[in-house]
Amino acid sequence: MTKTFINGNADLKNFLGKDLPPGDWVEVTQEMIDKFADATGDRQWIHVDVERARKESPYKTTVAHGYLTLSLMVALRNAALDMPPTRLSINYGVNKVRFTGPVPAGSRIRVVLRLTDLAELPDNGVQMQWNASIYREGSDKPVLIAETLGRRFE
């Protein structure tokens, strides 16, 4: 898959309102799920108990935490976009998030992005609003839909 190249803040306006091609697939491993569980304290069996999940879960395997999937947004965005280095780039927030489907351990996910708003900021910055849909390989429906905000300063 080829990344979409955006040549800095000034070029962003050319992508406003357009769905960008999906990024490369990123695998969600059991090791990632376990480390996320350790970091957050969310060790619910459906995430970390492989044997119990195999027997009792409707998915017959463990599934990633919704917040793990959300936290992979940066990696997924980096797999989809190629932009020149910047002086400062920050996640500014999330307006809306919906966890719309499971991400079983071993699944591969990718993101489809749409730049929905762009505002200039002082000090050569911009605020971007993205609609992001994360898809699991083999499914036509997204597993996560989010409206995210980011800021870039060149």
pLDDT tens per residue across span 48-71: 999 999 999 999 999 999 999 999
What is the pLDDT at residue 95?
A: 95
DSSP H helical ranges for the chain: 30-40, 45-48, 50-56, 66-71, 73-80
pLDDT tens per residue across span 100-115: 999 999 999 999 999 9
Query: Token pair for residue 58?
Result: 């409707």
Cβ atoms of 111 and 74 closer than 8 Å: no
**Domain boundaries defined on the chain:** 4-153
Domain 4-153: top CATH class: alpha beta
Rounded distance between C-alpha atoms, residue 113 and residue 81, angstroms = 9
Cβ atoms of 4 and 57 closer than 8 Å: no
Rounded distance between C-alpha atoms, residue 20 and residue 112, angstroms = 6
